[in-house]
Amino acid sequence: MDRDVDSYSYLKKVSAEGHLYNGFNLLTAEFKAKQDTVCYYGNRGSPEPIHLKAGIYGLSNSLLDTPWKKLLKGKRHFSSVIGDQALSGDGLVQELLTVLNNEELNSPDPAQESQGVGYSKPILQAQSAVCVRTPHYGTRTNTIILIDAAGNVTFTERTMPTSDTNKWSTNSFQFKLQSGALIRRQPSHFYCFQKIQVEDDQCLDPILS
């Protein structure tokens, strides 16, 4: 991304060629002292990118806030976690990882199944969970990004390096946004992402606030 182009303008450029690519979703963000900007574009939805107002959004293997059962349940769980003022930073990360690793099935879900024409019933059932588990398809990476009022960022990623679902590797990094001029009374940005892999194909399932 060109540092001289703002988030929305960048997505406008991308959207002009969106028809050339397979389905994708793209989020861009700028964090500034007076106003933060978060924008979204999905090339299977509106032809124009949109500015996202402050709030909680969910994104699965469809367009932003498509009301699948697992997405709605994930947003409720996410909202409950970030509303717990008693959690420490580490505790917040652990609880958000729990949100992303919920293997509870949310089937039947006609809205999700209508997009999965051609898939077998067992696969559709497995995909109804926030954390997908099948022999050859499933969640392999969770990412949590926390940005506090002073612009300090905690980036935590939990990855399954092999097909063994019992073995995970976790890394965490801390850094400060370059703008360095964020002034707010309390933290306001929480991002959860998870990567699902199907052989060599990958996609992201994010929840953000």
Q: Are 28 and 1 in contact (CB under 8 A)?
A: yes
Instruction: List alpha helices for the chain, DSSP H.
Output: 7-15, 69-82, 89-100, 110-113, 121-127
Same domain? 81 vs 98: yes
Same domain? 67 vs 45: no
Same domain? 179 vs 202: yes
Same domain? 46 vs 80: no
Same domain? 123 vs 152: yes
The amino acid present at 196, given as its one-letter code, is I
The amino acid present at 37, given as its one-letter code, is T
Does pLDDT of 200 surpass 60? no
Residue from 94, 180, 96, 87 nearest 130 by CA:
96
Same domain? 199 vs 124: yes
pTM exceeding 0.85: no
Q: Are 141 and 80 in contact (CB under 8 A)?
A: no
What is the tally of structural domains in the chain?
2
Q: Write the pLDDT tens digit of every residue in 162-198.
A: 888 889 999 999 999 875 444 443 445 667 676 665 4
> Which of 34, 53, 72 is a domain's end point?
53
Coil, strand or helix at 191: strand
pLDDT score at 24: 94
CA atoms of 56 and 70, how far apart (whole Å): 15
The amino acid present at 162, given as its one-letter code, is T
Same domain? 32 vs 133: no
Same domain? 26 vs 89: no
CA atoms of 193 and 72, how far apart (whole Å): 15
- The overall longest dimension of the chain from CA atoms, in Å, is 51
pLDDT score at 189: 66
**pLDDT interval class at 151 (50, 70, 90):** confident
The pLDDT of 87-112, averaged and rounded, is 94
The average confidence (pLDDT) of the chain is 86
Q: What are phi and psi of 17, to 5 degrees?
A: -120, 15
> Which of 53, 73, 96 is a domain's end point?
53
Domain containing 177: what range? 56-208
Q: What are phi and psi of 5, to 5 degrees?
A: -110, 130
The pLDDT of 42-71, averaged and rounded, is 94
> Which of 38, 53, 68 is a domain's end point?
53
Report for 60-64, 149-153, 163-167, 194-198: range of highest mean pLDDT:
60-64
Same domain? 151 vs 174: yes
Same domain? 36 vs 83: no
Same domain? 24 vs 62: no
Same domain? 129 vs 180: yes
